[in-house]
Amino acid sequence: MHSLTSGLHEVMELPPPAEVELRVEDEDGGERLDAYLADQLDDLSRSRIQKLIRQNQVWVNGTVCASKKAIVQGGDRIRVTIPDAEPLDIQPEDIPLDVLYEDEHLLIINKPAGMVVHPSPGHAHGTLVNALLWHCRTAAGESTLSGIGGIQRPGIVHRLDRDTTGAIAIAKTDQAHLHLQQQFQEKTARREYLGVVYGVPKTERGTVDAPIGRHPVDRQKMAIVPEDQGGRRAMTHWQIKERLGNYTLINAALETGRTHQIRVHMTHMGHPIVGDPVYGSGRSIGVNLPGQALHAWRLQLQHPVSGAAIAATAPLPDFFITLLDVLRKRS
């Protein structure tokens, strides 16, 4: 057994089925087991984690834990065994991909707006996974993606919202998947975003350190929620890139990776992302946007096998460029 926190070389030696070992930090104590694992293992859905718990694939302090509602405590050691993926029942689809980097271990693409990352109710087709299954397959039609994410998330290591564009990394092997997962957990992988917000922040740069959790009323939304009420610590570093009259182009770097983090934090600051249909102001800006003006423009990580530094830069989508042009002319 090897630990995800025990070093990159050990992770690279992990055989399938994969085993993930975590140590609960004191600040994370008091969380339900399934919620804690869903937060720590971004590539596994909560339903997938609950299934693993039911299948006796989760150990807490050396003992099988079959209750998803078990409460974790600081210092607990949790081991999760992730069996080989079941045969995929999701159909490959010939959807063009904007490839930023690719080799036999790793793929980085520039995701367009409107593309859901993985299949879900109401989104059975046209997802990034459908496209990846077509792009990453053998001559015999077998998937060459990592199976750690299960049937619905093969190769998926981290997420981008449906209408957020930009760089997203995909693992082609289980070895690469575990290595990349560790980088995101240990914050050695760096994700930077460009976003256009309403208004002008009072300072040139800053940090939002505010916990995020599920909205207490609208369960489809996230919100600032105190940690003692289930919120998870979330930190976003931002700085002004360009002032555009009553709007601002910002650069945001993630210290943590909570769902909708930048969108929630910018709204919390009083400067929601332009075009955000969930957290935005609803004001028309006169430019046809497919969603929020938020773009993951730069992804820096270590190659999971060679160890080389990789920096992938995703060009801005056309709608984002048009938005900037219009705001520059107005200002």
* Residues noted as catalytic: 161
Of the candidates 198, 224, 192, 159, the one whose C-alpha atom is nearest the C-alpha of residue 289 is 198
Instruction: Evaluate whether 323 touches 195 at the Cβ level (below 8 Å).
Output: no
Of the candidates 146, 201, 163, the one whose C-alpha atom is nearest the C-alpha of residue 319 is 163
Of the candidates 277, 307, 312, the one whose C-alpha atom is nearest the C-alpha of residue 297 is 312
The radius of gyration of the chain's CA atoms, rounded to the nearest angstrom, is 20
CA separation for the pair 9, 14 (Å, rounded): 9
Q: Other C-beta atoms within 10 Å of 63: how many? A: 6
CA separation for the pair 198, 294 (Å, rounded): 13
Of the candidates 165, 163, 191, 197, the one whose C-alpha atom is nearest the C-alpha of residue 269 is 197
